[in-house]
């Protein structure tokens, strides 16, 4: 049993306040379109981002895959980063669900740049897949919680518009980026054709993501969600948690970013740490020196009640979230100090 769980920010438990909000949420039947709390959440999210509509979904994966199924036809191609969650960690969904192919560009921090994207766009020729979607991830999970400047997004938007690419954002941790960079939701709503945001990561809800976009896109996405069995009935209980998360747990994300920075500083002083990716938000990625075995290191920590994860070779990952206390951080440091 893990006492301190830094494997992901998905592990948070609903707080007392959130549970109370859930129990007090009026419910209806969302497939019939009359669950008042789901309607309230979708209106709140759309209003904040300045999009026409929103759709409450089970998970980030479901929201991303619905968006891709809505945007793509068989034989189309998605341009994304080689670290992208939509490609690496959604069960082959782009191929299985949307029958589309993928091409990659981006830097070691998980960030994509206009020049690389331009190099991925295929000529309109029967030999090639049809370049159709440009998909960003902000923050980049495998990149180490890195985030985009608004100017970078605007430059990518310009490329997408010029080449008629649909611009999708996997914003599973978009609120971390908004807090870290002091940006506004509405800038994102304007820039992207579709955005998925997760309520069940750093914001602390047990379940749920919201997909944002135009009325036409969300209308179609609602059909796709139903088709894949994602129509849910008294979902208002979960929408109640999501509304509570949006109203109470956004500003405090800054505390998780500070915790990641402090741990990065500490790790940087340890002889057995080879490199630390400077954290921008709540994800901290580091590599171990050659004489340390990554699997064994993670296993040893687990025996001491501390959970961390890995995202490939030389990529140990700690994720900071609202269930990690100051005392937990001290304990992790004291365990690591005597390794
Ligand atoms: C960047 C990113 N996108 C999407 C997801 C998928 O979210 P879910 O686990 O809710 O399917 C995750 C999950 O960790 C993620 O990190």
Beta-bridge mates of residue 138: none
Q: How many angstroms does the Cα of residue 90 sit away from the middle of ligand 1?
A: 8
Question: Which atom of ligand 1 is nearest the CA belonging to 137?
Answer: 1
Q: Is the CB of 146 under 6 A from ligand 1?
A: no
pLDDT at residue number 1: 84
**Closest to 199 (Cα-Cα) out of 165, 171, 166, 162:** 171
**Closest to 228 (Cα-Cα) out of 42, 69, 86:** 69
Instruction: Write out the residue limits of the CATH 3.40.640.10 domain(s) in the chain.
Output: 13-248
Question: Which atom of ligand 1 is nearest the CA belonging to 139?
Answer: 1
Question: Which tokens is 197 given?
Answer: 């945001």
Q: Which residue has 């199924």 as its token pair? A: 69
Q: Is the CB of 172 under 6 A from ligand 1?
A: yes
Is the Cβ–Cβ distance between 263 and 329 less than 8 Å? yes
Q: Which fold has domain 4-10+252-337?
A: 3.90.1150
Q: How many angstroms does the Cα of residue 333 sit away from the middle of ligand 1?
A: 28
pLDDT at residue number 38: 98
Distance CA 94, CA 90 (A): 8
Q: Is the CB of 317 under 6 A from ligand 1?
A: no
Question: Which tokens is 101 given?
Answer: 């192919």
**Closest to 11 (Cα-Cα) out of 336, 319, 312, 235:** 319
Q: Is the CB of 137 under 6 A from ligand 1?
A: yes
Q: How many angstroms does the Cα of residue 332 sit away from the middle of ligand 1?
A: 25
Kindly report the protein residue whose alpha carbon is nearest to atom 16 of ligand 1. 141
% pLDDT > 90, the chain: 98
Is the Cβ–Cβ distance between 38 and 211 less than 8 Å? no
Distance CA 121, CA 286 (A): 33
Distance CA 44, CA 27 (A): 17
pLDDT at residue number 339: 82
Is the Cβ–Cβ distance between 75 and 277 less than 8 Å? no
Query: 10 Å Cβ neighbour count for 221?
Result: 25
Mean pLDDT, contiguous 10-residue spans, the chain (339 residues):
95 97 98 98 98 98 98 98 98 98 97 98 97 98 97 98 98 98 98 98 98 98 98 98 98 98 98 96 97 96 97 94 97 94
Q: How many angstroms does the Cα of residue 127 sit away from the middle of ligand 1?
A: 33
Q: Is the CB of 170 under 6 A from ligand 1?
A: yes
What is the three-class DSSP state of 136?
strand
**Closest to 72 (Cα-Cα) out of 52, 88, 86:** 86
Largest Cα span, the chain = 61
Q: Is the pTM of this model over 0.85?
A: yes
Distance CA 140, CA 152 (A): 14
| CA torsion angle 252 83 239 223 (round to 10) | 160
Q: How many angstroms does the Cα of residue 172 sit away from the middle of ligand 1?
A: 6
Q: What does the pLDDT look like over 292-307, one tens digit per residue?
A: 999 999 999 999 999 9
pLDDT at residue number 62: 98
* 181 contacts: CB under 8 Å, gap ≥ 6: 147, 148, 149, 150
CB-side exposure of 200: number of CA atoms within 13 Å? 18
Question: Which atom of ligand 1 is nearest the CA belonging to 173?
Answer: 1
Is the Cβ–Cβ distance between 18 and 205 less than 8 Å? yes
**Closest to 194 (Cα-Cα) out of 44, 72, 71:** 71
Pocket test for ligand 1, best of 8, 64, 85 (most atoms within 8 A of CB): 85
Q: Is the CB of 200 under 6 A from ligand 1?
A: yes
**Closest to 68 (Cα-Cα) out of 38, 106, 96:** 96
Q: Is the CB of 249 under 6 A from ligand 1?
A: no
Instruction: Write out the residue limits of the CATH 3.90.1150.10 domain(s) in the chain.
Output: 4-10+252-337
pLDDT at residue number 314: 87
pLDDT at residue number 234: 98
pLDDT at residue number 263: 98
Q: Is the CB of 120 under 6 A from ligand 1?
A: no
Class at the top of the CATH hierarchy for domain 13-248: alpha beta
């Amino acid at each position: 049993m893990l006492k301190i769980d830094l494997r992901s920010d998905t592990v948070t438990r609903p707080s007392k306040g959130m549970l109370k909000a859930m129990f007090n949420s009026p419910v209806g039947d969302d497939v019939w379109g009359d669950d008042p709390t789901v309607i309230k959440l979708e209106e709140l999210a759309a209003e904040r981002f300045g999009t026409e509509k929103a759709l409450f979904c089970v998970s980030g994966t479901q929201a991303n895959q619905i968006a891709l199924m809505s945007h793509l036809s068989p034989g189309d191609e998605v341009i994304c980063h080689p670290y992208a969650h939509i490609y690496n960690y959604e069960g082959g969904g782009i191929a299985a669900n949307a029958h589309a192919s993928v091409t990659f560009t981006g830097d070691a921090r998980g960030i994509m740049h206009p020049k690389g994207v331009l190099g991925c766009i295929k000529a309109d020729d029967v030999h090639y897949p049809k370049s159709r979607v440009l998909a960003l991830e902000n923050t980049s999970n495998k990149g180490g919680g890195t985030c985009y400047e608004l100017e970078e997004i605007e430059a990518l938007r310009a490329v997408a518009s010029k080449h008629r690419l649909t611009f999708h954002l996997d914003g599973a941790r978009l609120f971390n980026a908004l807090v870290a960079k002091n940006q506004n939701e509405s800038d994102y709503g304007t820039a992207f054709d579709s955005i998925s945001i997760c309520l069940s990561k750093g914001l602390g809800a047990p379940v749920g993501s919201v997909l944002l976009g135009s009325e036409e896109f969300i209308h179609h996405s609602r059909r796709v969600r139903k088709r894949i069995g994602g129509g849910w009935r008294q979902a208002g209980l979960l929408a109640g948690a999501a509304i509570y998360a949006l109203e109470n747990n956004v500003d405090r994300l800054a505390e998780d970013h500070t915790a990641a920075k402090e741990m990065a500083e500490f790790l940087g002083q340890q002889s057995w740490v080879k490199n630390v990716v400077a954290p921008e938000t709540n994800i901290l990625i580091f590599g171990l020196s050659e004489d340390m075995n990554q699997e064994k290191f993670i296993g040893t920590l687990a025996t001491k009640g501390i959970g961390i994860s890995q995202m490939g070779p030389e990529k140990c990952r700690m994720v900071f979230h609202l269930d990690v206390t100051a005392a937990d951080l001290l304990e992790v440091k004291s365990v690591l100090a005597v390794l």
